[in-house]
Amino acid sequence: MKCVVALLLFGCLCLVFSYGYVSQEIFERSKHIWNKLILTHHWPVTVCKMNNSLCKDPPTVWTLHGLWPGKANMCNKSWPFKINEIQDLLPEMIHLWPDILHPNASQLWKHEWLKHGTCAAKLDCMNSEHKYFSKALELYKKYDLNGALVKFGIVPSTSYYQMKDIKAAIMKTYGVMPKIQCLPPDCGQSPQILGQIEICFTKEFELRNCTEGESKSHHFLKDTPVDCSLKQEDFCVCNDTLKTYYPPVNQTWN
């Protein structure tokens, strides 16, 4: 009888540990599920500003920050970045996807591959390092953000813009809502600083609204008072009611 009880207890423990393992595995898999691609551009002058860096000759166009599969990240840590696999892409990568803060962009590309590319590889058309970076470059050139802004008179300036006008330029060009991010204003200064723009796609590479299904908990919302204890260390969704500064390349900061 004691043997039977012991066997039953052992069996229950095995089920508990097995269930725990399966639950953890399901949780890990769920972190890698995604349903939209985010083509992310940033404005080099603002990147320099937020890092308190005196960038030497920053690019004069919006450059690629990355191609991100939703919130999924680090889907295969054992899949290393090998720069020799994208040798033929390097001339374009250096021009369109530079590391604004460092001369050697290979660390940025390594980061983008490990964090985002290994998740994007779920799609056959991006299931290799070369395919992933090629697709990002293809989308960047096809959906020309620089050209879209210039077409509607949104250019770097010492004057300020209304956020609605920046949004309108992008929406009239692509027909979908982008996600536009700024550095929040320093206390005592009213304008926010334009910094990052996201254009979103379905897994079939059809344009879609970036705002679908997003939580607003971390957004810099309309009519939200500025918290003077916060520092300009990261981007947040731009405030629709504040004046927006799109700094020119020759801008010098106080």
65 is catalytic: yes
Nearest Cα to Cα of residue 200 among 192, 190, 209: 209
Find the helix or strand (DSSP H, E) in which 64 lies.
strand 63-69
Q: Check 65, 204, 206, 212 and give the catalytic one.
A: 65
Q: Check 116, 204, 206, 219 and give the catalytic one.
A: 116
Q: Check 112, 214, 218, 219 and give the catalytic one.
A: 112
Q: Residue 3 carries which DSSP code?
A: H
Q: Compute the distance between CA of residue 68 and CA of residue 65 in angstroms, rounded to an integer.
A: 9
DSSP secondary structure letters along 119-155? HHTTSGGGSSHHHHHHHHHHHHHHS-HHHHHHHTT--
Q: Compute the distance between CA of residue 118 and CA of residue 115 in angstroms, rounded to an integer.
A: 7
> What number of CA atoms fall less than 13 Å from residue 176's CA on the CB side?
18
116 is catalytic: yes
Helix extents (H) in 78-215: 90-96, 106-112, 118-120, 129-142, 145-151, 163-174
Residues involved in catalysis: 65, 112, 116
